[in-house]
Structure 1
Amino acid sequence: MADADAAKSLSGLLNGIAQKVYHNNPEITEELLKNELYPEMSQDEFSALHEKMKGLIKSIASADMDQGQLDAFLTAQTKRRQGGAGLSSEQAAVLTRFWKSQRPKVREALLNQSRWEPALRGMSWRVDVQAADSKGDTANSGAVALVELELGRMGESSEFVCLEMDEAKVNLLLKKMGDIQQSIDRIVVPAPQKPDEA
């Protein structure tokens, strides 16, 4: 029965940490978690447990670990148990159950936190070509690109921005976008291919 209570308390602690860190729930505090889940534990012991679990969750979440990665990570943590810094096998089992149920929610919360606001919700464009007048004057004719951007913040209605560009401005925009892509390509290391993808 004591093991079941310990697992239930740890599960509550992990969920509380996730609520506070990833879902920005202001009602969840370290003090609340201690009083509700570990009232018999000293403040120093609880703070150490809280920080350890928070660090483990952040490591797991930032790597978006799949089941195999999680198993390897937790196995390494249980082997550190001899030094007192690792996890017990019971704690590892609770972390596994927690991550299995919370991974999609935590991943979505991290994606939402990393979005720039306002975000581009949509884009439409067209090219208008002016025809020559009846005298054959083509001095004012040419192609004009019209671009409409739909921008918005989470939970708010969209704003629309319209841009008009001639051929020179379109070429400049395309060049700048190419420069940005090259910069990103220099920074981002492509994920290694799995053997079955090669």
Structure 2
Amino acid sequence: MADVEAAKSLSSLLNGIAQIVYYNNSEITEELLKNELYSDLSQEEFKALHEKMKSLLKSIATADMDHAQLEAFLTAQTKKQGGSGVSAEQTAALSRFWKNQRVRVRESLLAQSRWEPSLKALSWRVDLQAANSRGETTDSGPVALVELELGKAGQDSEFLCLEFDEAKVNQVLKKMADIQESIDRIVHRT
């Protein structure tokens, strides 16, 4: 019976950590978790357990581990010496938690990494002026029209319309090529 209660407390601790770290639930605090789940532990013992579980969860979530990766990671953690490893009960709780929460944690991490407002849609066209109403042609050249749909999650979108002549299109393409070159330099350096 004590093992069942310990497993429930550990599972609740992992859920509480996820509420704080990934779901931005300000009602859950470290102090609340200690008082509700581990009132029998000293502050130092609880702090050590909390930090260990938080660190393990962050490692698992950052790597977005699949089942095989998680099993290998947890097996390696059980073999650590000097009290820094995890017990079989902790391994089981972490495995259950990740199986149930992986998708939600991943979505939360993705949402936290997005810039707001974000680009929801982009449409464009090129217009050519063939002739005016009197049948005369003009030298204005082609015009690129770009419409950007920008918005924050759960809010109405805003639309931004841009008009580019050929020189401006070339400038934008040059800037994009410069950005790609910078990204390639950074990626190949690491």
TM-score (normalizing by structure 1): 0.89
1:127 counterpart residue number:
126
2:74 counterpart residue number:
74
Pairs aligned (count): 187
Superposition RMSD in Å: 1.5
1:41 counterpart residue number:
41
Q: Take 2:101 and 2:187, find their aligned partners in 1: how far apart are those partners?
A: 28
Q: How does 1:179-194 map to 2 (within 5 A)?
A: 179-188=178-187
- Percentage identity across aligned positions? 72
Alpha-carbon offset, residue 90 of structure 1: 1.3
Q: How does 1:1-198 map to 2 (within 5 A)?
A: 1-80=1-80, 82-133=81-132, 134=134, 136-140=136-140, 142-188=141-187
Alpha-carbon offset, residue 132 of structure 1: 3.8
- Render the CA deviation track for 1:114-141: whole Å, top value 9, x for unaligned: 000110011111111011455654433x
Q: Is the 8 A contact 2:129 2:137 kept in 1?
A: no
Q: Take 1:108 and 1:137, find their aligned partners in 2: how far apart are those partners?
A: 54
Range with greater deviation from structure 2 (150-159 or 26-35): 150-159
Alpha-carbon offset, residue 167 of structure 1: 1.0
**Mind listing any 5+ residue stretches in structure 2 that lack a counterpart?**
none
SS in 2 for 1:126: strand
Runs (4 or more) in structure 1 with deviation over 6 Å come to: none
Q: Is the 8 A contact 2:34 2:46 kept in 1?
A: yes
**Mind listing any 5+ residue stretches in structure 1 that lack a counterpart?**
190-198
Alpha-carbon offset, residue 155 of structure 1: 2.1
Whichever residue aligns with residue 124 of structure 1, its letter is S
